């Protein structure tokens, strides 16, 4: 048997493909071909991570600061949770390298087993579905604000069908979102994500500049929470705002080269941008309006051209973020579907394209229908924040605990480092369980007490 090697743009991380030629019942020749693997660089992946993290939570952050008891309290809570948020991202990336997992639920399956994979896929499907609804709600709100600014008299007097909230959500989503939802790889969205990030940075600049310009006196500004439990009002918003964990593994799997050193650069830059963006918007936004702040920060401003540009850019950014969450939710749903039907790997691969298209269309239409009837994003964010805690704390904590215990079992040694990892993972799980239960209970109480209400916006007829 002879071997020949061809070098086609080879690098250290290139895949090797074996081509075999069968002759007279046996493999006579094997040719090893080095093929260049294409993927996203660490810096282009930053835009995917930031676009996945920055979104609906940005608009709700200033009000969350008020609910938590003021700027200082909220920033301290945010800083504490950021330690766990970043640690969870690196834990998931480390565990994904064990068997080259490409989705969140596959990482959980690799470390914790099949039942844990099913549970994570169920939570992930629910979370992504709800988040997609939230994005469509925001799109409808932004277009309504735009029409009230540019054609208020005509809009309020005639209420044309093509300007109402339902029509703008449906028409623009079909035109601008659905075409981005069908690709197989998530890095297809890296260029659209760049546009989305630019839009978010404009909103941050707007809120900051508006604070330093002359404006009406703010309402009362809190410096401490009314009760110690109020501190946790900001937790759902933090979890929802920084939750990029469900999309982080697909993003990491598309990186070239794929390794933790390069990925740590992506995470560091992305988290710096997210912290600066969220903290600046929340602090300056809250200090501008005090307790007069609305659920959507842009609704608090007088309608002027600069604000309307921000409104449009938020809509554009949301168009580019929805497909990322659909991608992750679709992968989780397909995992459950193929597992429930007991399909073989061969059938799963052969039906992948058809299944992906059908799932995408059904998902898109279902979220579109629900978004038309839900009035605002406040209660949705509270509920989704509870589910985000599961992805940020519970499952990463489980992965760290099981992986560490497996190392102990293999080596028979309890080192100081492994004891720390076990203790840290237990903190992850305990904290995540507490946050999930508390925030879910709070959101249900708000719902039953009439917590869903329309914002008192200056964009009204």
Query: Quick check: 142 pLDDT over 80?
Result: yes
Q: How does residue 168 score in pLDDT terms, banded at 50, 70 and 90? A: very high
Q: How does residue 8 score in pLDDT terms, banded at 50, 70 and 90? A: very low
Q: How does residue 27 score in pLDDT terms, banded at 50, 70 and 90? A: very low
List, for residues 328-342, the tens digit of each pLDDT value.
Answer: 889 889 888 888 877
Domains of the chain and CATH, by start: 2-35 (no CATH), 42-448 (1.20.1740.10)
List, for residues 264-280, the tens digit of each pLDDT value.
Answer: 999 999 999 889 888 99
Determine which helix (DSSP H) or strand (DSSP E) holds 5, and give its type and residue range.
strand 2-7
Q: Decide: helix, strand or coil at residue 351.
A: coil
Query: Quick check: 211 pLDDT over 90?
Result: yes
The residues, any chain, with a CB within 8 Å of residue 307's CB and separated by 6 or more, are 149, 206, 298, 301
The first and second tokens of residue 28, run together, are 């006579």
List, for residues 33-72, the tens digit of each pLDDT value.
Answer: 344 446 778 888 888 888 777 765 787 888 888 888 889 9
pTM over 0.85: no
Note the pLDDT of residue 422: 93
CA distances from 176 to 51, 167, 287, 319, 370 (A): 16, 14, 35, 7, 18
Backbone angles phi, psi at 53, to 5 degrees: -85, -45
* CA nearest neighbour of 431 among 226, 238, 223: 238
Task: Give the 3-state secondary structure of 261-308.
Answer: HHHHHHHHHHHHHHHHHHHHHHHHHHHHHHHHCCCCHHHHCCCCHHHH
Give the lowest-confidence range in 134-138, 221-225, 236-240, 383-387: 383-387
The dihedral sign for the CA sequence 378, 323, 112, 258: negative
């Amino acid at each position: 048997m002879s071997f020949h090697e061809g070098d086609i743009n080879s690098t250290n991380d290139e895949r090797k493909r074996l081509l075999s030629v069968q002759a007279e019942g046996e493999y006579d020749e094997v040719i090893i071909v080095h093929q260049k693997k294409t993927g996203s660089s660490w810096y282009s992946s930053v835009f995917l991570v930031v676009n996945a993290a920055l979104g609906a939570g940005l608009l709700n952050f200033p009000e969350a600061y008020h609910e938590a008891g003021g700027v200082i309290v909220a920033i301290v809570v945010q800083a504490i949770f950021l330690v766990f948020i970043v640690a969870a991202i690196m834990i998931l990336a480390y565990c994904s390298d064990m068997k080259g997992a490409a989705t969140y639920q596959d990482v959980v399956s690799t470390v914790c087993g099949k039942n844990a994979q099913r549970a994570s896929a169920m939570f992930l499907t629910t979370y992504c579905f709800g988040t997609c609804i939230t994005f469509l709600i925001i799109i409808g709100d932004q277009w309504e604000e735009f029409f009230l600014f540019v054609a208020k008299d005509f809009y309020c007097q005639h209420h044309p069908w093509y300007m109402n909230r339902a029509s703008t959500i449906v028409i623009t989503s079909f035109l601008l979102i659905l075409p981005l939802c069908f690709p197989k790889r998530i890095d297809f969205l890296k260029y659209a994500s760049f546009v989305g990030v630019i839009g978010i940075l404009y909103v941050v600049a707007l809120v900051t500049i508006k604070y330093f310009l002359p404006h009406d006196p703010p309402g009362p500004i809190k410096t401490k929470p009314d009760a110690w439990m109020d501190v946790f009002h900001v937790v759902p918003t933090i979890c929802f705002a920084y939750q990029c964990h469900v999309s982080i593994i697909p993003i990491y799997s598309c990186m070239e080269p794929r390794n933790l050193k390069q990925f740590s650069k992506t995470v560091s830059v992305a988290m710096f941008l997210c912290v600066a963006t969220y903290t600046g918007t929340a602090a300056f936004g809250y200090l501008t309006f005090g307790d007069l702040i609305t659920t959507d920060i842009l609704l608090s401003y007088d309608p002027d051209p600069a604000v309307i540009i921000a409104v449009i850019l938020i809509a554009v950014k949301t168009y580019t973020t929805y497909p990322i969450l659909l991608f992750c939710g679709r992968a989780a749903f397909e995992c459950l579907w193929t597992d429930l039907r007991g399909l073989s790997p061969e059938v799963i691969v052969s039906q992948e394209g058809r299944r992906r298209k059908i799932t995408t269309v059904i998902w898109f239409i279902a979220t579109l229908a629900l978004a038309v009837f839900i009035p605002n994003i406040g209660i949705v964010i509270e509920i989704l924040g509870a589910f985000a805690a599961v992805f940020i704390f519970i499952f990463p904590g489980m992965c760290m605990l099981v992986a560490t215990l497996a190392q102990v079992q293999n080596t028979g040694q309890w080192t100081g480092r492994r004891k720390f990892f076990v203790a840290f993972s237990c903190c992850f799980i305990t904290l995540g369980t507490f946050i999930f239960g508390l925030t879910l209970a709070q959101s249900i109480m708000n719902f039953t007490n009439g917590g869903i209400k329309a914002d008192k916006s200056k964009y009204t007829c």
